[in-house]
Chains A and B, each alone.
Chain A
Amino acid sequence: MLTRWRVSCAALMLSFVGCGGKSAAERVAEHERARVSWEQTARFVGAEWVARAIPDAFVARTLARAHEELQSEAEALRKDELSEQQRALLRDSLGAARALGDSLARAVGASDRRAAAQLVDNSPRANADSLLRRAALR
């Protein structure tokens, strides 16, 4: 009776752990999502700063935060069990994202709106429109 109880509990626990665990594809997707999120946050604040919609202090802080978060992402990526190919791809895009954030931070520090505009000019707004159409929220 007790053994049956123990076995049921163990099965229940395992099912929870099973639910919590993620496949490699899911983990890759998560890394991607985090990278895109912070890269786009950096672009967003950059674009709004160019349009003079937000104060310098806020941009600087947000870009610093983006830098930190992308750094933690890199750490998490290092520790994750992925194929070398997947890891290399993700690492490269992370690097590009960090580079963008850092360049933007420098431009903001130098109050160089033109440089910032060029950096964000991979058109978050144009991307946004096409993404909008795809997301079909409008």
Chain B
Amino acid sequence: MKKVLEITLGIVTSIGGFLEVGSLATSVQAGAAFGFQLIWAIVLGTICLIFLVEMSGRLAAVSKQTLAGAMRDRFGYPFFLIPLVAMSALGLLVLASELGGLSLALQLLTGISFPWWAPLGAFAAWLLLWKGTFGIIEKGASLLGLITLVFVYAAFRMHPAWSLVASGIRPSMPKHESMHYWFIAVSIMGASIAPYLLYFYSAGAVEDKWNETDVAVNRVSATLGMSFGGLLSIAVLIVAALVFVPRGIRIERFDQIALMLTPVMGRAGFVVFACALGIACFGAMLEIALSVAYMAAQGFGWKWSEDARPRDAARFSLVYTATLVGGCLIVVIGVDPLAITLLSMALTAALLPVAIVPFLILMNDAHFVGQHRNGWFSNTVVCAIVGLAFVLAVVSIPLELLGS
């Protein structure tokens, strides 16, 4: 019974925490530009994420080490600097885009203009990290995040042709704007396979003192949770396709996305969209700031508990504070939030091998995971999808940048 409860909680927090500005923006762009055609990118990205999240939990449960700690341990320094610097820089960019999303949400709700919300949002996130505990943050943000289920509701209410939706699961070649198609496909995969989630997940598992008996539970909750999460992204894509394609609207600015739910739900749709966006982004901000701090603290051996008071984990607290300040600065400078979101998602895809290859090596190292090593299937699937994402990213990012 307790296992069932654990699994359920795991699934619920995965669903609630799944959507954030990256998956929202990329799914909406995909739906508006290519209808149902890019659903396969969400499916591929989600499958890969399922494997990676399960691996992250398994690593923590069996080796009792976090991903970052295990990486320093196994690969040593200075190699560790490579993923550290890459993931931190990326984390900063993604954090900035989440903060941009949060600012937009607040702007939609209050009508007050954009740049002032960023420092406030960053401060609110900081306050929660400073004073809150890990449990509250993880569960609170995820439970509130269940509001994003409204997209599933909207998708059903709009009565898509489900057979057409299903056909989008099969990868297909674009009929127009090829470079843009592949760029969005890459961005979707980068949005789905968020490396920061892996560092966060393993840290949480260690903080919750998982052991080998939790491996099976983790497998179920990671698989089901992330699968439902992926369905959420697909729902967003479906709604975007049904709202924007018939009107011929291309999504080039964040504001246009705000209209997504009004055709189905009227005024309530506008408000709910803003709330869902805001909550999803806020939750993601907390996770990203923590992930960057986890990587640094665990990699260098500092104390890193989120439950501890800031003065008892000084350098750890300093890092997440600095990360939030940095993200805030990027937004305040005035970089276009949608552009930064899409670019950071595509960059994530390009940098995936840096994060994932060491991870895979760890998962095949008996010294860390004992008999719970990866099977050939997991290795193959992850390698294939990450490899694909990387190749697509390397080709499409420069061309998209050149073309725009």
Q: Is A6 an interface residue (CB 8 A)?
A: no
**A132-B253 in contact given A54-B262, A54-B270, A137-B164 (Cβ < 8 Å):** no
**Which chain A residue lies CB-closest to B248?**
A36
Please measure, in the bound complex, the distance between the C-alpha atom of A45 and the C-alpha atom of B358, giving whole angstroms: 48
Please measure, in the bound complex, the distance between the C-alpha atom of A136 and the C-alpha atom of B163, giving whole angstroms: 11
B246 contacts which chain A residues (CB < 8 A)? 127-129, 131-132, 135, 137
> CB-CB contacts of B229-265 with A at 8 A, as 1s and 0s?
0000000000001100111111011011011001100
Please measure, in the bound complex, the distance between the C-alpha atom of A135 and the C-alpha atom of B259, giving whole angstroms: 20
Q: Would you give the shortest CB distance from B34 to chain A, in whole angstroms? A: 11
Does A48 lie within 8 Å of B108, measured CB to CB? no
A contacts with B: majority SS? helix
Q: Is A110 an interface residue (CB 8 A)?
A: no
Q: Would you give the shortest CB distance from B371 to chain A, in whole angstroms? A: 48
Q: Is A16 an interface residue (CB 8 A)?
A: yes
Does A124 lie within 8 Å of B247, measured CB to CB? yes
Band of interface residues on B: 20 to 34
Q: Is B267 an interface residue (CB 8 A)?
A: yes
Does B252 lie within 8 Å of A54, measured CB to CB? no
> CB-CB contacts of B253-290 with A at 8 A, as 1s and 0s?
10110110011001101100000000000000000000
**Which chain A residue lies CB-closest to B262?**
A53
Does B250 lie within 8 Å of A34, measured CB to CB? yes
Q: Would you give the shortest CB distance from B20 to chain A, in whole angstroms? A: 22
B270 touches which one: A16, A41, A53, A65 (CB < 8 A)? A53
B248 contacts which chain A residues (CB < 8 A)? 33, 36-37, 40, 131
Q: Is B78 an interface residue (CB 8 A)?
A: no
**Which chain A residue lies CB-closest to B253?**
A65
Q: Would you give the shortest CB distance from B155 to chain A, in whole angstroms? A: 12
A53 touches which one: B242, B250, B267 (CB < 8 A)? B267
Count A-B pairs with CB separation below 8 Å: 91
Q: Is B2 an interface residue (CB 8 A)?
A: no
A132 contacts which chain B residues (CB < 8 A)? 246
Does B252 lie within 8 Å of A20, measured CB to CB? no
> CB-CB contacts of A50-66 with B at 8 A, as 1s and 0s?
01111111100110010
Q: Is A114 an interface residue (CB 8 A)?
A: no
Q: Would you give the shortest CB distance from B393 to chain A, in whole angstroms? A: 15
Q: Would you give the shortest CB distance from B193 to chain A, in whole angstroms? A: 26
Please measure, in the bound complex, the distance between the C-alpha atom of A44 and the C-alpha atom of B245, giving whole angstroms: 12
Q: Is A102 an interface residue (CB 8 A)?
A: no
Q: Is B161 an interface residue (CB 8 A)?
A: yes
Does B242 lie within 8 Å of A137, measured CB to CB? yes
**Which chain B residue lies CB-closest to A60?**
B111
B266 contacts which chain A residues (CB < 8 A)? 51-53
Q: Is B5 an interface residue (CB 8 A)?
A: no
Q: Would you give the shortest CB distance from A59 to chain B, in whole angstroms? A: 10
> CB-CB contacts of A111-138 with B at 8 A, as 1s and 0s?
0000000000000100111011001111
Please measure, in the bound complex, the distance between the C-alpha atom of A51 and the C-alpha atom of B267, giving whole angstroms: 9
Q: Which residues of B contact A (CB under 8 A)?
A: 35-36, 108, 111, 158-161, 164, 179, 241-242, 245-250, 252-253, 255-256, 258-259, 262-263, 266-267, 269-270, 398-399, 402-403
19 contacts between A and B (CB under 8 A): A33-B250, A41-B249, A44-B247, A44-B259, A48-B270, A53-B270, A54-B262, A55-B270, A62-B255, A127-B247, A128-B246, A131-B247, A131-B248, A137-B36, A137-B160, A137-B161, A137-B246, A138-B158, A138-B159
Q: Which residues of A contact B (CB under 8 A)?
A: 16, 19-20, 22, 33-34, 36-37, 40-41, 43-45, 48, 51-58, 61-62, 65, 69, 124, 127-129, 131-132, 135-138
